[in-house]
Amino acid sequence: MSQRLHLVFGGELVDPTKNAFKNVDDIHVVGMFPDYDSAFNAWKSEAQKTVDNAHMRYFIAHIHRLRDEEAETSPTEELD
């Protein structure tokens, strides 16, 4: 069984209606999680801490979707 890794991260957005960060250097990386449930709990915890700031957003990235296990190589491996 393959792992279903998820990355939780967030930061202040330029505009709350868009997904562009104000300062990429200030992105808060919460961590990598082995399943969606634990990632969701981490996301919820961080999002609740910043609920009063409309410009703060946290996201869950489905890292396992970046790699197609059936393909011989991933597109990023071909860049090397």
Instruction: List all residues 6 or more positions away from 70 whose beta carbon is below 8 Å from its beta carbon.
Output: none
Residues 45-77: tens digit of each pLDDT: 999 999 999 999 999 999 888 766 665 554 545
Any idea of the CA torsion for 57, 50, 61, 6, to the nearest 10 degrees? 180
Residue 35: which pLDDT band, with cuts at 50, 70 and 90? very high
Q: Is the confidence at residue 33, as pLDDT, over 90?
A: yes
What is the rounded CA–CA span in Å between residue 15 and residue 18? Answer: 5
Higher pLDDT, 33 or 71: 33
Mean pLDDT value across the chain: 86
Output the pLDDT for position 70: 63
> 6-78 adopts what CATH topology?
Alpha-Beta Plaits (3.30.70)
- Percent of the chain past pLDDT 70, that is, above it, reads 80
**How many residues belong to the chain?**
80
The count of C-alpha atoms lying within 13 angstroms of the C-alpha of 71, restricted to the half-sphere facing its C-beta, is: 10
